A and B are shown apart, each in its own frame.
Chain A
Amino acid sequence: MIKVNTEDYPWQPGMTVRSLLDERLFTFRHIIVRVNGEYVPEEHFDKSAIHDEDDVIVLHLMAGG
């Protein structure tokens, strides 16, 4: 189990930042990702592995309206 934006989410072997974003349908293009507090640049989303019990923050920079 991992945390995604403070909520439990099932972890799967081979999970990367990219696969997690795809799975969660986080399609907004202006997203900031931090894994265990470490910033992950967008160009590393494909190869950045997510491990069981990681704490993932996916910040959508959408303040709208």
Chain B
Amino acid sequence: MGAILKQYSYTPEKIIRGYSGKSLYINVSDLRIEEKELTDFMKEKFIGGKGFDLWYLWNAVTPETRWNSPENEIVMSVGPLGGITQYSGTGKTLIASISPLTGIPIDSNAGGYFGPLLKFSGWDAFELQGKSDKDIIIFIDGNNGLIQIEEGEEYPEDTHLLAEELTSRFAVDENDMVNVSVVCSGSAAKHGYMGMLNFSFYDPRRKLCRFKQAARGGLGTILRDKKVKALVVKYKGITPNLNNAADISTINKVGVKYHKEMHDLDSKQNKMRQIGTANTVMIMSQYDLLPTRNFQTGGDPETIKISPQVFINEWLTQGLHDGCWYGCTMSCAKCADHFLLTSGPYAGERVTVDGPEYECVAGLGANLGIFDPQAILEENFYCDTYGIDLISFATCTAFIMECYQRGQITQEQMGGLDLRFGNKDAVLELLHQMSRGEGFGKLAGLGTRKLKKIFVEEFGADPALLEDIGMEVKGLEYSEYAHKESLAQQGGFAMATKGPQHDEAWLIFMDMVNKQIPTFEDKANALYYFPMFRTWFGLVGLCKLPWNDIVPSDNHKTSEPAKVPEHVQNYVDIFNAVTGQNIDNDELILQSERVYQFQRVFSVRMGKGERKDDYAPYRSLGPVSREEYLSRQELYDKQLRDLQGLEPESMNLDEKIAKLRAYREDQYEQLMDAVYRRRGWTMNGIPTPERLKEIGMDLPMLLEVIEPKL
């Protein structure tokens, strides 16, 4: 172990109705450790989780703060419901910081044990500020009330080695390892902007650390910029009511009902217990939604090679410990055991690969033209252990590949890498270069927005084409859903506060297939309700998946099955039962909207968050290239005829593409108008003082930011 630099003793607070009442502040510049009291104002306006994160972050930074400024913080909080063990998906940690990719607040979340163990160690939130001058490890011992900062130079950087070593180091014996959780990144995080955070949970059956990721927006890059190699928490003594809920019997009752649903219905619905989120890969391909070769098309006949059944039959271990927090019967955290690596520094070793999740198969597979499960698993492993957000990596690499194949950049400019679609060896070498901070891999790690500029200014690429095909908004890469034919989802991505991640809204089936939201107002209502509702998971410490990846057998009889009303009621009941409050469905949405509007104003404060920042690349809205148009010619010709009153038979292909583009861009403008109105924003995308007042968020600090923009 490294030299101990600082020790701090504290008295862990007992959790009362979901809150300890205290947060932890550590400044790694001067090793300052402080305790802060939670205020009633914070609990009322921000609830917890992402709400607390954003509140602390706002108070830590200024409009001039950049991602690598010492005052930028990484803030973590689990929320008042986090850590209950009677319902599925209750162990989420929410993390926020100023992102290196976007320059505005990013929030991301992860399962694993860290957040709940942190709370049970006495901390509702944790602020990490400053920059250390050498690698350090921060250890929180929740049983003994000890915080220790020690030198960390001697530890390996890559997650699968680092977490194992730290878990062994801080556990008393093998039985104690389940009480330790590590947050760390990997060797690539210090070389690029798409570094992510791994959150560990020890798997006693496999006898190794497993991981969930807070992937989006470069949080791992920030951790390593602060020279923090890892955060470690240890807490022994998980019992069913550590939150000291106001009404544990209601929580038990709701939990039992839910677990029965999971037992009876999962095998008939999404099979989350067998394959996890990757269950949707074939469905996405069949419905033209699987992003393929940089989102050019929505599927490929070769998708069958990477279908869920292939992973279930040939790669994934079934029937072992797959829940990322106690009590989760969904247990969707799958993994491939004894996987033999064929490339990179660990070639020849057998490892356990956590995943693949849907985003992994879609992004590292179809979107790169790689229909090879073994290659996808190897990419998955290296993204995780190197600390790379595989969504940003996949979408950025798909962009590079298309630039190369369209003659915009050359193999020589990529340092000799032959990044054709489908070339798995070149993709793996790109990852290894990112880890080493060398060659074209180092450049690629800067992300799509910066690459567009470099390709244009230094390689002479066509700026208009690159704007059309570079799949990023606000600097963040799109997550892995093709959505050209869903106007609502185009808005769901591009108008998302932090950038195009689907955790705000996933409306593709409602919009494109079910045709449930045909008008602009319908779509705007959906783009109000679902982002507000989904934000709530991040306030209280819950996973979204148990909400709608399984639904009650009579859900179809409800008036709004897409909202899964019975599960929403479960959440209301559990919130009231933990906190002793008495909210209803409307109050739940109000809780979310307060934080949602706060985050939008925060983005405005940091220089983004206006209409100009909510535009999508045209690849998101429609066909950029002739090949894309021809791939859906019948559909597009019909739209020209039916929606625009044109005669496609008398037009050439380029004319048809141009006319369709003009129509779709106008549709998107009209959608923005409708959504802004519904969200209570000006036509420039700024939350109005009137709306902030209606929801009780007309705080002087917010009004000061928006008033010059009105």
Contacts and interface: CB of A to CB of B under 8 A. Distances in A.
Interface string A23-65: 0011111101000000100000000000000000111111111
B280 A64 contact: yes
Nearest to A63: B548
A22 interface: no
A34 B551 CA distance: 18
Contact of B551 (A58, A61, A64): A61
B270 interface: yes
Contacts of B42: none
A48 to B, nearest CB: 16
Contact of A64 (B286, B506, B557, B564): B506
A29 B269 contact: yes
Contacts of A59: 514, 516, 556, 561
B694 to A, nearest CB: 28
Given A6-B518, A39-B556, A60-B513, A65 B562 contact: no
Name A's interface SS. loop
Contact of B286 (A25, A39, A65): A25
A64 B362 CA distance: 14
Interface in B497-523: 502-503, 505-506, 508-510, 513-516, 518
Contacts of B562: 61, 63
Contacts of A26: 513
B514 A65 contact: no
A5 interface: yes
Name B's interface SS. loop
Nearest to B556: A32
A63 to B, nearest CB: 4
B423 interface: no
B312 to A, nearest CB: 15
B50 to A, nearest CB: 17
A28 B283 contact: yes
B10 interface: no
B311 interface: no
A11 to B, nearest CB: 18
B19 interface: no
Contacts of A57: 514
A37 to B, nearest CB: 13
A32 B269 CA distance: 12
A59 B18 CA distance: 38
A26 B515 CA distance: 14
Contacts of B503: 65
B83 to A, nearest CB: 24
Interface of B: 268-270, 280, 283, 286-287, 479, 481, 502-503, 505-506, 508-510, 513-516, 518, 544, 548, 551, 555-557, 561-562, 564
